[in-house]
A and B are shown apart, each in its own frame.
Chain A
Amino acid sequence: MSDEKEKELNRQEQAEAQPGEQEAEPKGEAPAAEPAAEAQPAEAAPSEPAAAAPAAEPTAKVSAAAPSEPAAAVDPEREAKLKAAAEARAARAAAKAAAESAENAEAAAVDPEREAKLKAAAEARAARAAAKAAAEGGDGGSGEAAAVDPEKEAKVKAAAEARAARAAAKAAAEGDAAPAEPKQPSPKQPQLDEAVALIRAQVGDDAIEEAYINELNGHLPTLVLKAERLLACAELLKTQESQDYSYLRNLSGVDYETHLETVYHLVSLKSGSDLALKVKADRENPQIPSVVSVWHTANWNEREVYDLLGIHFPGHPDLRRIMMPDDWVGYPLRKDYEPLDPEV
C-alpha cells in the first residue's frame, strides 16, 4: 500500500507540474468515490504557480484529509483564487486516493484480477479530460456528466471517451479562436489570397478546404487542401512563376486522433516566401497522393510518415518502411499505438 501511495505521490507531483487543467474533488465519502469534476477557472492556477507550490500537502496524509472534504468543497466558491488552487489540489489528491481505494475494493469484489491500478489511472484520465472539456467549454452540464462517468466504470471505453472529450475541447478552443482572428489583418494575407485565388482559378473551387494565417509561426500562410487535389495544387505552386515553391523544406505527419494530417512546408528560394500545405486523411484508411513527382525531397519523408504513422501515399515509387524493421507491426507515432511486444 505504501508503494501505491508513493506512486500516487509521484503522479500528483506530475500533475502539479501542469496545474490548472481541471480540479476535481470528491463529494461524498470514500466508499462512494464520486470524484466530481468542478469547472475551476482554468486561468487561476497558471497565474499562481509559485504561490501554489509551497502549499503542497504531505501526501501520506492524503487519505486522512479526505473526511475534511466538505470544507474543501465549499472553499473554492467563496475564497480567493490563490487559496482555491492549493485547496483544490489537496482535494484532487484526496479524490484520487479515494477513487483508487474505492476502485481497489470494487475490483477485488468484481474483478479477481488485480489490474485496479491501471484502470484507476485510466479513469482518472477520463475524468480529467472530461473536466477539461467542461472547463473549456464553460458548460456546467458536462461537468456532471463527467462526474457520472467514473461511476459507470466503462473501463474499456475510457480511452475512447477521453479522446472524444479532448476533441470536443479542441472544437471549443477553436470556436474561441475563430472570432479573434480577423482582429489584425496579417501582413501575409495578400500572399495567401493570391495563392488561394490561383488555386481556385487553376485547380478548382473545391481544392481548398480552408485557408488561414498561422500567426504563431510568423504569419505563415497555410492552406488545407483536399487530398485528391493535392498533386495538382503542388504542381501549380511549384511551377507557377508568381509562387515558385520549388523547395520542400519539411514534410511531417501528425496524428490528430480524429484524423491524420500531413504538413508540407514550402519555401521559394527566389522570393523567400513561405507556405504551408496541409492535407487531412481519415484514420481508418489514410491515403494521400504522393508528391515525389513534384518534390523529390518527399521521397524518404513520405516513407518515414508511412512508417511511423501509416499514411499511404499512392504514387510513391518505393513505399517501404524506412526506420522500423520491415516486419514491424503498427505505426509507432500514432497516439493509440500499442507495441505488439511490450518488452521491446
Chain B
Amino acid sequence: MIRTEELLLNVGPQHPSTHGVFRIIVKLDGEVITEATPVMGYLHRGTEKLAENLNYTQIIPYTDRMDYVSAMTTNYVLCHAVETMMGLEVPERAEYMRLIVMELQRVASHLVWWGTYLLDIGAMSPFLFAFRDREIIINLFNELCGARLTYNYMRVGGVKWDAPPGWIEKVRDFIPYMEGKLDEYHRLVSGNEIFLARIKGIGKYDAQTAIDYGLSGANLRSTGVDWDLRKAKPYSLYSRFEFDVPLGKNGDCYDRYLIRLEEIRQSLRILKQAVEQFPSSGDVMGKVPRVIRPPAGELYVGIESPRGEIGCHIVSKGKAEPYRLKFRRPSFVNLQILPKLLVGETMTNLITILGGIDIVVGEVDC
C-alpha cells in the first residue's frame, strides 16, 4: 500500500533564516510549498500594555527593543508623536542630530539586511563585509549614546546627548567611504549570475496587491508606487533635503534588493547635506515640561523606517502615561503577504522571499 502524504514542516521558531523566533508551518509536496501558515508571538512582550503604565520617557527604551535593527527610527516615531501632540518645538540642532542618526541607522539597517539576505542565499562573505561597514556606524552611535543597539537616544523635545567633539567630522568622513563600499558591493554581488538566478522574478506581486496588503517601504516601492513618507508626508527636516526615492518595476526580490542598496546611496546623500547644514551651536533639548503630559485626545503619525511605515497611535487622557499606545509595525504588516507569495514556491524560495520582505521579529511581535 503506497500512500502519498504531504509533508508538514515546521520552519522555526528556531531556524537560521527566520531571523529570530518566527515560525512558518509549511505543507510540502516534495519541495514545493502548498500551504504556508506563519505563526508569531514568540517575541511578544506586550509593549503596548506595558506602555500604559509608563510615562512617555520610560517608553522610549521599549521602542529600542521593538525594531532593534533600527532603534533610532522607532525612538523617533514615539517622540515625534508626543511632540506633535503637545505642539513642542524641537531645537534645530536636535532635529539635525535626529535626522543624521536616523539616516545613519537606515544605512546600518540596510547593511544588516544586505548581509543577512546574502547569507540566506548562501553567500557567506558579504555578511561580514556588511557588518564591517555597519560597525563604523555602530561605533558612531556608541560614541554618541554609549549603546550599540538599543540607543535610547531621543527624548521628547530633543535628544539626550549632544554630538561629542569631532563626531560630525567622523560622519562626514564616513560618507565617501560608504559610497565607495557601496560600489564594491555592487561589483561583488549584484552581477553574480547565481545570485540573479536566485532572486530575479521571485516573490513577485503587482502594485495593486501591494497597496491592498498595506505593504510599505521597499516592498511597496518595488512595484513602482512612489510612496515614501519622507517625501509624501514630510516630517523632521526632510523637506530641506534633496534626495530621490528609488522605485522598482517588477515587484520581485531583485527590485527590492536594488531599491535597498539605492536607498543607502540616497541616505548618504541626505547625510552629506545634513552634515553641511548642521548648526554649529545650539541646544539639543527643547523647552519641555518636567512631566510630559500630552493633552487629551488621540493622534496617529507614521514615519519611514528602513522597513516601511512605522506609526504610532497615541490615545491620551491628559495623563503622564498614554491611555493606549499602538504601534503600526511595518514588519508585521509587510509579513502578511508572505503566505500568499509562498504557495507554489520551493523551500529554497521560502528563504529568498522571507528575506526579501526584511522583517525584524522584535517588531513583528512587538
Contact = CB atoms under 8 A, between A and B. Distances in A.
Interface in B282-324: 289-291, 293, 295-302, 309, 311, 313, 315, 317-320, 323-324
Contacts of B326: 250, 252-254
Interface string B319-361: 1100110101000110110000000000000000000000000
A323 B211 contact: no
Contact of B309 (A18, A249, A253): A249
Given A216-B297, A216-B299, A254 B48 contact: no
Nearest to B333: A297
A324 B301 CA distance: 26
Given A18-B319, A324-B41, A249 B297 contact: no
B132 interface: no
A2 interface: no
B213 interface: yes
A156 interface: no
Contacts of B48: 308, 333
Nearest to A300: B336
Nearest to B41: A323
A333 B300 contact: no
A296 B214 contact: yes
Contact of B317 (A49, A170, A250): A170
A249 B320 CA distance: 27
A295 B214 contact: yes
Contacts of A300: 332-333, 335-336
Nearest to B226: A269
Contact of A323 (B212, B298, B317, B365): B365
B315 A247 contact: no
A294 B320 CA distance: 37
B99 interface: no
Nearest to A136: B318
A252 B324 contact: yes
Contact of A269 (B49, B225, B291, B333): B225
B1 interface: no
B40 interface: yes
Contacts of A269: 211, 225, 227
B232 interface: yes
B179 to A, nearest CB: 31
Interface string B258-301: 00000000000000000000000000000001110101111111
Contacts of B332: 300, 304
A332 interface: yes
Contacts of B214: 247-249, 295-297
A323 B291 contact: no
A214 B298 contact: yes
A274 to B, nearest CB: 8
Contacts of B301: 217
A247 B211 contact: yes
B84 interface: yes
Nearest to B320: A18
Interface string A196-216: 000000000000000000101
A144 to B, nearest CB: 25
B236 interface: no
A173 interface: yes
6 contacts: A19-B291, A49-B289, A249-B328, A250-B302, A250-B313, A250-B326
Given A218-B84, A296-B212, A322-B41, 7 more contacts: A216-B85, A247-B214, A249-B302, A249-B309, A252-B326, A295-B214, A297-B213
